[in-house]
Each structure stands twice: as C-alpha cells, then as structure tokens.
Amino acid sequence: MRIKSLSISKHPTLSCILCAILLASMLISTSCSGKKATAETVQAPVEEPAPAVGAISDDYQNPEGFVLLTDVIPDAILEIRYYSTYNFAGTRIDGYLQPIALLTVEAANALKKVSDELKEQGYRLKIYDAYRPQQAVDHFVRWSKDPSDTLTKQYFYPMYDKPYLFDNGYIARRSGHTRGSTVDLTLFDMRTEKEVDMGGTFDWFGVESHPSHTATLTRQQLANRMLLRNTMVKHGFKPIESEWWHFTLKNEPYPNTYFNHPVYWNVR
C-alpha cells in the first residue's frame, strides 16, 4: 500500500499547528534556562557548619604548635564541660568534637611542671577546659543574647540576667582560651580520691568565684585556692581576679591569634 507524502504548503492549518508547537518548545526551553541561570546568580552563600566527628577526614592535620595535653601529662583528669551538657549553656558547645584538652606546646610544658610539683604533695590536676575555638565563643555570645533560654540559670547564674553576664566580662566575644595557652582547672586529692574543696564550682557566675572572696570562704577553702594559684604563678601562669580556676601562660606564643580549629586530635 502506498502512503502519499503530505505537503505542509498545501495544508495551511497543519502548518500553523506545527509552527505553534515549535514556538512553544523554544519558549519553554528558554524559560527553563533563564530560571536556572537566575537561581544560580542569586543563591546566597551557605556558611559551613562546624564539622561533625565523622565529617573530619582520616588525614586531618593536627594544628601546628599544639599538643594533646594527656600526651604531656598522662595522669591529668579530664572533665571537659563544653563537650558535655553540664555547662552554663546546657548543651554541647560548637567546636568540641572530642572530650579532650589541647594546649600550645609551651603552655602544656609549663603545666607539666605544675603537675609534677603538686603530685609530690598528693594532688593531680583536673582539667575543665583548655584551648577553645572561636566558634565556641561565638556560641556563647548567641546564647547570651537569647533571654528565653534559662535552662541552667539556677545552677550557674541565679542572681543575674544574661545581659549582666555579657556586660561584666563573664562572657566576651574574644577569649584567652582561643589563643591556646589558657586552662581552667582544679586539684584532685589522691588521698581522698575527691576534688579539693575550692568553696565554689567551675563556671559559677558571681563574686564567690573571685579567688580571694573571703566573705564566703573557710580558711581551708582559701588555702586550697591559694595552693593552686601560687603553684601556677610559680611556673609562669597568670591568674585573673574573677575566676579561681582560670590561668594563662604569661609568655604565650600566640598573643594576638584567635584560632578556630575544632577540639579534635587525629591519633594516627
């Protein structure tokens, strides 16, 4: 059977239909292409979140100039509060990917001398915090600006509202911890197998945390604070007047650098 070829020129209606189809196809193609280009042009940059443990590659390079504190002081006791939820924010803090303590080489070596001297007197060092990345400090600042989040108020700052903490230096946009040579610590009595009574807890926001706030301290509590303070000062650390647990190496190697690598150590 023969099929006659169809001449479009002899069928104007069919010609119009085909032209319409072709034109619609071209418009759809152009429209899709234009939308894609527009989306790619106006897309806002996405801030990279702090990496999760699983997101760090196996070949992660440990930060130069830092050490894992327990490599220098193997018997140091760690209670890294910002890795846990037992802290003033009530949640794990950004950048704390492992419950470890990192310090600059210089700070760790100086702290080893502190540990050696106190060990002869029957004490070990208990570490609450050491190097703290800038992303963690940023987390503190965000927390301080949220008046609705008072989950831990009764445990850490019952007498104050959050603006007071920020305005009076308890929380700041820059921290000595971020320079890598500051440590928060206490003493552990090897005889009693308990923390030494310092007359106050770590990260208590109030005058009771001032090292020599004698109004609320017993003679023994004050002596305990002074033992820690004097030994730290003897080996090159300087205290602050608002926190009995806080010390910074006087000759810190990076006095103007605020690091942001996570609290993480690649054990190869």
Inside any domain, residue 40: no
What's the confidence (pLDDT) of residue 212?
A: 81
Range of the domain at 111: 59-249
The mean pLDDT value of the chain amounts to: 84
What's the confidence (pLDDT) of residue 213?
A: 85
What are the residues whose beta carbons fall under 8 Å from the beta carbon of 83, sequence distance 6 or more?
92, 93, 96, 98, 99, 263
| Whether pLDDT at 48 is above 90 | no
| Whether pLDDT at 258 is above 80 | yes
Inside any domain, residue 145: yes
Q: Give me the number of domains the chain comprises.
A: 1
| Whether pLDDT at 26 is above 60 | no
Residue 118's pLDDT band (boundaries 50, 70, 90)? very high
Average pLDDT over residues 42-63: 61
Average pLDDT over residues 201-230: 93
Inside any domain, residue 2: no
Convert the pLDDT of each residue in 89-105 to its tens digit. 999 999 999 999 999 99
| Whether pLDDT at 181 is above 90 | yes
Inside any domain, residue 82: yes
Inside any domain, residue 260: no
What's the confidence (pLDDT) of residue 56?
A: 85
Inside any domain, residue 132: yes
Q: What positions carry a catalytic annotation?
A: 243
Inside any domain, residue 34: no
What's the confidence (pLDDT) of residue 154?
A: 93
Residue 222's pLDDT band (boundaries 50, 70, 90)? very high
Q: What is the CATH number of the domain that holds 134?
A: 3.30.1380.10
CB atoms within 10 A of CB 75: 11
Average pLDDT over residues 187-196: 97
Inside any domain, residue 12: no
